[in-house]
Structure 1
Amino acid sequence: MLTSQDLAFFAVLASEPSLAAAARSLDVTPPAVSQRLQVLERRLGMRLVDRSGSRLSLTSEGALLAERGQAVLEDLESLAAELRERRDIVSGPLHVAAPLGFGRAFVAQAMARMRQLHPAVELKLTLLDDPASGIRSDRWDVLVQVGPLADSALAMRRLAPNRRVLCASPAYLEARGHPIHPQDLGHHVCGVIREDQADVTLWSFGGDDGETATIRVRPELASNDGEVIKAWALAGLCIVQRSEWDIAGELRAGHLIELLPSWRMPDADVVALLGPRQGRAARMERFVQVLKDLLTPVPWR
């Protein structure tokens, strides 16, 4: 017979590269881990770990136990959370994933507020340089995204409006002039942020008169860090497109100037995806509401 303690022990063991690493994670000695594993194997009448190599390797039975055992542990934790929620106690782990810049600026604040409101919730924030890749993961509960999403059957909550803005510094415009039409961008120095798998060199615009334009820019400056690209634009080196949330202060101060005001780039609204795990609705929904409250009224407008 398996207990939840057996499943939790083996889940740790299966996630580590060696018995010694598992011992460190469990805060016990390697002989204690080995002995407990032997007891578990004898009780089940099968080998769960292949001991022939230097690295910990699961047998097919061990892999099955690790996979199904993790699901059972999550179901047990979800059941316990639902029972606590019936007493209006929001608790349990909450894993949030978010883009680097927006996560630092806003999501971290929302998680701090969540902790104040619901101290029994265990928080984890993962900041991603490729948020779109997170959609394929089942290891998070809420994914915050800025901009368009790949097709997904996951529940989505819109948090705040956000425009993409084409901009440059006064120094750049004094030296290189203002573009009048999107086609003029071919004669300008453009910088791009390569922070996901999107085609960042293809810029689309919609005009006030209904005209559309799609321009392939040849970036002379590129980085995977939005702060670097913004700094280069502020230094007068290039034209960039940035999210409104990130440059609203610089626009108000006149450090950056919005370009092509009669043309609009596709919006990049802030949304939250609710993860595929089951039984976590209360803390997921509570956190999304906390984040939405933080973004209302929209702080960058």
Structure 2
Amino acid sequence: MIRLDDLALFVRSAALGSFSQAAREVNLLPGQASAAIQRLERELDIRLFARSTRSLRLTEEGKRYLPFAEEALQALRAGHEGLRGPGTALNGTLQIAAPSDFGRNVLLPWIAEFRQDHPGLDIQLLVSDQVTDVFRDPVDIALRYGQIDDASFIALPVAPANRRVLVASPAYTARHGRPASLDALAAHRCLAYRLRGRVYDRWCFPTEDGERLVQIAGPLVSDDADVVRRWALAGEGIAYKSWLDVCADVVAGRLEVLLPAVVGQATPLNLVCPHRKQFSPAVKLLHALVSERCAPLLDRLERLPETPADSASLA
């Protein structure tokens, strides 16, 4: 008889390409995971993986069997959710991935509130600017900035009207002045962001004639979006940030929006997961909470004041 734990290890090993990584997720030794796969192969009388000292890959039989294994495990999870009913308290574990700045400074208190309402639910929050692979990484859902064009997974809008804004601290503008136009950014210290080895030193602004790219420069670069925000707070330069990440700082006066009449790059926030069937009651409630909390922040974005100097700011 096929063991469910063996089936789950097979699915995770296929996703991660490693028995060792799959074993670590469930606190097993690598040898125990390998033994579980061998046991499953004996039950099925097929070879699921082609193994070598350096690689692990699915056989053709393993590739054909994988979607059935995933569907079986999902059906069991759905059955469990159905038995609990809509009024049953949430339990289990929800693994969430979020961008560094948003995760630490915006989402964290909302997660605390969510846990207070659902104390039986364990939450694992993974905070990183690396784009999470919801198929391979050990997460249930990911909150992700940007347009979602990949049809292989499901994306629910959380803050579709979010966009980037230019910000600097009052201390910076007191020393260096405020740029009167996008062209003037070339004379300012701008804070650049690095992702996967690429420095994003050309800032994009949508216009009626298409996208406009503005070359920027500055002495500080980081691969952590929260570090860029902290540099801006410290008066080190101008940052081009998601409004959701800096809204609280702007409201508190720690940062000022520069060129508010200039429309920044669209940066929608979405909740992403591999399949619609994974929208468990916990995921649905969290999606509703984050969407509800983001709505008033986006209202503030729409009410940003425009200064007279901004009318020619695209020049």
TM-score grouping bracket, smaller chain normalisation: 0.7 to 0.9
Q: Which amino acid aligns with 2:214?
A: R
Give the counterpart letter for 2:102 in structure 1: F
Corresponding residue number in structure 2 for 1:112: 112
Matching residue's letter, 2:263: R
Cross-structure match for 2:212? 214
Q: Which residue of 1 aligns with 2:231?
A: 232
Q: Deviations over 1:69-128 (max 9, x none)?
A: 233212211222123235645445433222111112233333333333334444333323
Count of residue pairs the alignment pairs up: 295
User: Is the CA contact 1:159–1:292 (under 8 Å) kept in the aligned structure 2?
Assistant: yes
Q: CA deviation at 1:179?
A: 1.9
Residue of structure 2 in register with 1:151 after alignment: 149
> Quick check: 82-91 or 220-229, which moved more?
82-91
Q: Which residue of the partner structure matches residue 124 of structure 1? A: 124
Mapping of residues 129-140 of structure 1, within 5 Å: 129-131=129-131, 134=133, 140=139
Task: Say whether the 8 Å CA contact 1:138–1:276 is kept in structure 2.
Answer: no
Question: In structure 1, what residue type is equivalent to 2:147?
Answer: L
- The superposition leaves residues 107-162 of structure 1 with CA deviations (integer Å, 9 ceiling, x where unpaired) of 3333333333334444333323144x65787965433234x313255342334864
Shift in CA distance, 85/264, structure 1 to aligned 2, threshold 3 Å: same
Calculate percent identity across the aligned residue pairs. 28
**Alpha-carbon displacement from aligned partner over 1:50-82 (angstroms, at most 9, x marks no partner):** 677487666544555555423321221122212
Would the aligned equivalents of 2:201 and 2:216 in 1 still touch at CA under 8 Å? Answer: no
| Structure-1-length-normalised TM-score | 0.72
Match status 1:84 vs 2:84 = yes
Alignment CA distance shift 1:202-1:86 (3 Å): closer
Find the counterpart in structure 2 of residue 184 from structure 1.
184
> Matched residue of 1:190: which SS?
coil
User: Per the alignment, in what secondary structure is the counterpart of residue 278 of structure 1?
Assistant: helix
Q: C-alpha separation between the residues in 1 aligned to 2:157 and 2:97?
A: 15
Q: Do the aligned partners of 2:157 and 2:268 also contact (CA within 8 Å) in 1?
A: no
Matched, 1:203 2:201: no
Determine the C-alpha separation between the residues in 2 that align with 1:92 and 1:103: 21
Do the aligned partners of 1:91 and 1:121 also contact (CA within 8 Å) in 2? yes
Deviation at 1:175, TM superposition (A): 4.0
SS in 2 for 1:109: helix
Q: Contact 1:48–1:62 (CA<8 Å) still a contact in 2? A: yes
What is residue 312 of structure 2 aligned with on the other side? none
Residues 213 and 144 from structure 1, CA distance in 2 versus in 1: closer, same or farther, beyond 3 angstroms?
Answer: closer
Give the stretch that moved more between structures: 12-21 or 166-175. Answer: 12-21
Gaps of 5+ in 1: none
Q: Which runs of 5+ in 2 are unaligned?
A: 301-315
SS of residue matched to 1:151: coil
Contact 2:51–2:57 (Cα < 8 Å) also in 1: yes
Compared CA separation, residues 235 and 294, structure 1 to 2 (3 A): closer
Larger Rg, first or second structure (1 or 2): 1
The farther-off stretch of 40-49 and 133-142 is 133-142
How far has the Cα of 1:284 moved from its partner? 2.0
Match of 2:165 in 1: 165
CA separation of 1:258 and 1:107: change in aligned 2, threshold 3 A: closer
CA distance in 2, matches of 1:162, 1:79: 37
- CA distance in 2 between counterparts of 1:137 and 1:38 reads 22
Question: CA RMSD of the aligned region, Å?
Answer: 4.3
Q: Does 1:223 align with 2:219?
A: no
| Letter matched to residue 282 of structure 1 | P
Question: Which aligned pairs between 1:248-267 and structure 2 lie closer than 5 A?
Answer: 248-252=247-251, 254-267=253-266
Match of 2:304 in 1: none
